[in-house]
Chain A
C-alpha cells in the first residue's frame, strides 16, 4: 500500500486519542494484486504468480500469472456483458466513463505511489495520472457523439431510406502497452468501451500494479461487471490464446514486436477477427486519443427500407 495513505490513517488514529505512536509498530497490510473478471476479483485459477521488480530491484508485488483458462473465463464474462453494455444508451455510457474518471481522481495518491514504485518520477507520475483521468473524460464525451460523425444517410437512387451507422464489434482482446502502465491501459480500454464493446485486457507485464488498482476504480464506477476484464501475466504465454479464441471479435496489440505482430495476424485468420496494432502511438500526446480509435472497433451497418411514395409529387400510384 501507499505509504502516505498509511501515515495519514495512523495520524488520524492518534488524533482520536485511542492510541499513541502506534504507527511504527503497526504491520503494513499488503495488497493482494488479483485479476478482474466479470466484476469479481478472483485469483488466477492456475494458482501461479510472478514477481515483477522495478529498476531498483525492488519486488513490486506477487502478481497473478493468468492462464489461458483465465482468459477464456474473461471472454465468457465479456460476451455475457456485451448485450447489456452495447444496448445501453450512449449517454449512459458517457456518464459511466465520466464516473470512472471521478473515481480515478479520487484515488490519485494510490496511483502515484504505484507509478513511483514502477520507476516513474514524481512529475512523470503526476502527468501520467492527469492524462489518464483526462483521457477518460475525453472519451466520456465521445460516447454519444462519434456515431453522429461517422454515420451517414446514403442518397440511394431507388425509393429507399438507407443509412449506415457504427455498431460495436463485440468482445475485444487488448494487449496493453508495456510502458505507461496506467495511461496506456486506460487509453487502450477507453475507446473500446466508449463504443459499446466489452474487452479483456492483458495489462503491462512489467508494470502491472496500476492495472489492478484501476480495476478497483472500475468496480466502483457503475461499470457493469464483465465490460472490462483485466488480467495480469505474460503476453508471450497468452497472446496466442487471445488471438485463437473464436469468440473474440477483435484484437488490439500495443507493442511493436514484428514477429508477434505477424503471428497475431496469421492466427487471427481463424475467425477473421479484426486486428489493430497501436505500435506507433505516443499515448502521452494528442495522437493517443481520437474518435478514429473508437471507430477501429466499430462495424458499419447499413439498413435499407422502402419509402412509400403514394400521392407524392404525382407518384406512380
Chain B
C-alpha cells in the first residue's frame, strides 16, 4: 500500500490474491487495508493537506500533475499489459483507450489547477480537504485518474481504494506518483475489499466521498454519511437506452450498438444495454447485429485481435449467467455468437435477446455483461417514454439522420450523457455523470471541478 509517499505493509497483516481472470492464475498478493490502515492513510492525507498541498502555489500543483500525466504516457505499454492481465480486458482497449485516456485526464486537470477563479463567475474556491475515493474494477486505472486528477488539481488530498479484483494498475500509478515526487501523503493508494471501503466512508476526518460502483452500494454510502458534513459524488449504475430510428445511418448504428454493449465485455455503467429499434427496420438491424456479433473474437485478452476479453471475476460471470437464465425464462429469444471460448478463465459469448418486453428483468436491471436486450417501438413519443422508464439515467443513445429529431430526443431523454449517432465516447473535457439513481456529481470537464470545491463569496 502506498501511504504517505512510501510503501507500507498493512497493519492488518492480511493479504489477498489477485488473479488473472483469463487464466484463473494468481498474479500476486496485495495488502488488505483495515480500519487502522485507512486511518493511517487519512492522517497522512490530512497532514499533507494542512502542511503542504493546500499552501502550495497552484501553478506548482499543476506541474506535479502534468508530470504524472507524462509518466503515464511514458509507461503506457507496461500499464496496458498489467491492466489486461489483472482485469481481463482486451489489450487493444487497454492500450488504445484506458491508458491514454487516463494520462490525458491528468493532463487536462493539471491545467485547471491555477485557473479555478475563471471557472466559477463571481466566486472564489476553496478545496474541501481529504477526499476518500473508491473505484470499481471495470476501468481500474482510468477510474483512478478520474478520481485523483480533479481532486488534487483543486487542492485536495486523496485516499483512494482500488477494487478488490483489480488492484495492480492503481499500485503502478502509485509508483508513478512516487517517481513524480508528489509530496508524501497527497495521494495515498490502498487496497482492500468492501470493509476497507466502509472504513473510508465512515472515517470522521474525511471531507469528501467519491464513489463509482453499484447503485446499491451508492445508497449505502449515502445513508452512512448522513449526519456528517461529507460531500459526496456517486457515479452508479445504468441501463442505457440506445435508440435506432428507421432513418438512421444503419451500419454505423449497428456498429455503435456493438460498441455500446460489447465494449469492455459490457462492464460499463453507461453500456447501451437496452436497444430500441423502430419496427420497420427491426429485422434488418437484428440480422446485421447477428452478423456483426459473429465477427467478434472472444479470447485471450493479451491477443491484439481479441474484441471481447475475460469477464472480470467468477462472481460476475455467475451474475451474467443468472441473467441469461432469467431472460430465457421470461420468454425472450436468446441468440449468442457461435465463437469458441477458451477452456480456462471466465468467458462469456456476446449475447442478445430479441422479443424482449419492457417489463422483463433483462430490460430493467443492470447486467454488467455482454448481453443486449432488443425491444421495438413505433413512434417517437413511445420510445421516449420507454427510454425514460427506468430508475437510472446515466446515458442514452439515439441514431437518426434527422437533425431536429436528434435535438428533440437528446433534450427529452433523462440522462447525463447522450450520444447522438455515436456511443461510448469519453474525453477528459467532457462531463460524465447521471440523473436519478445513476448518482450525482459530474466527472470530467469544467463541471468535474465543482464536486471538489467549496464556492465562497468574494
Contact = CB atoms under 8 A, between A and B. Distances in A.
Interface of A: 149, 152, 154-158, 160, 162, 164, 167, 169, 249, 258-259, 261-266, 268-272, 274, 286-287, 292, 299-306
Given A156-B429, A300-B442, A272 B222 contact: yes
Nearest to B450: A295
B311 interface: no
Contact of A304 (B104, B425, B446): B425
Given A149-B121, A162-B427, A303-B410, A268 B445 contact: no
Of all A-B residue pairs in the complex, the 10 with the closest CB atoms, nearest first, are A262-B227, A266-B226, A265-B226, A156-B427, A269-B222, A269-B219, A154-B429, A305-B420, A303-B418, A269-B223
Given A262-B226, A265-B225, A305-B422, 19 more contacts: A152-B447, A157-B104, A160-B425, A162-B427, A162-B430, A164-B446, A164-B447, A259-B227, A263-B226, A266-B222, A269-B220, A269-B223, A271-B437, A272-B215, A272-B436, A301-B435, A302-B430, A303-B410, A304-B425
Contacts of B220: 269
Chain B contact-residue range equals 35 or more
Contacts of A300: 416, 431, 433, 442, 447
Contact of B391 (A266, A271, A274, A287): A271
Interface of B: 104, 121, 123, 215, 218-220, 222-223, 225-227, 234, 236, 391, 406, 410-411, 415-422, 425, 427, 429-433, 435-437, 439-440, 442, 445-447, 455, 457
Given A154-B431, A164-B447, A266-B223, A302 B417 contact: yes
A261 B226 CA distance: 8
A153 to B, nearest CB: 10
A302 B2 CA distance: 35
A263 B222 CA distance: 11
B142 to A, nearest CB: 15
A299 B416 contact: yes
Contacts of B411: 167
Contacts of B432: 302
A154 B427 contact: yes
Contact of B420 (A156, A264, A304): A304
A262 B431 CA distance: 29
Nearest to B427: A156
Contact of B427 (A157, A249, A258, A274): A157
A292 B431 contact: no
Contacts of A162: 427, 429-430
Nearest to B437: A272
B219 A299 contact: no
A155 B226 contact: no
Contact of A154 (B123, B226, B236, B445): B445
A301 B421 contact: no
A259 B225 CA distance: 13
B418 A304 contact: yes
Nearest to A305: B420
Contact of B436 (A249, A261, A269): A249
Contacts of A268: 222
Contacts of A262: 226-227
Contacts of B425: 156, 158, 160, 304
B145 to A, nearest CB: 15
Contacts of B419: 303-304
B448 to A, nearest CB: 10
A167 B434 CA distance: 12
A272 B429 contact: no
Nearest to A271: B437
A152 B429 CA distance: 10
A88 B218 CA distance: 34
A292 B164 CA distance: 38
Contacts of A263: 226
A305 B406 contact: yes
Contact of B457 (A287, A299, A304): A287
A302 B236 contact: no
Given A265-B222, A266-B226, A304 B430 contact: yes
A271 B447 CA distance: 23
A185 B212 CA distance: 36
B445 A299 contact: no
A164 B430 contact: yes
7 contacts: A149-B121, A154-B446, A262-B226, A269-B226, A271-B437, A272-B219, A304-B420
A305 B104 contact: no
A117 B447 CA distance: 46
A258 B227 contact: yes
Contact of B236 (A149, A164, A272): A272
Nearest to B445: A154
A309 B356 CA distance: 38
A271 B436 contact: yes
Given A155-B429, A304-B420, A306-B421, A299 B104 contact: no
A239 B439 CA distance: 22
Contact of B421 (A158, A274, A305): A305
Nearest to B433: A300
A272 B422 contact: no
A255 to B, nearest CB: 15
Of the listed residues B236, B391, B446, the one surrounded by the most CB atoms of chain A closer than 10 A to its CB is B446
A300 B393 CA distance: 12
Contact of A272 (B218, B416, B430): B218
Given A154-B445, A271-B437, A303-B420, A292 B123 contact: yes
Contacts of B455: 292
B210 to A, nearest CB: 15
Contacts of A249: 436
B227 A266 contact: yes
A300 B431 CA distance: 8
A84 to B, nearest CB: 13
A274 B440 contact: yes
B437 A302 contact: no
Nearest to A163: B430
Given A152-B447, A292-B123, A265 B416 contact: no
A149 B118 CA distance: 12
A145 to B, nearest CB: 11
Given A300-B433, A305-B420, A261 B227 contact: yes
B422 A265 contact: no
B114 to A, nearest CB: 19
A152 B445 CA distance: 9
Contact of B439 (A156, A272, A306): A272
A105 B250 CA distance: 58
Contacts of B430: 154, 156, 162, 164, 302, 304
A250 B430 CA distance: 24
A146 to B, nearest CB: 10
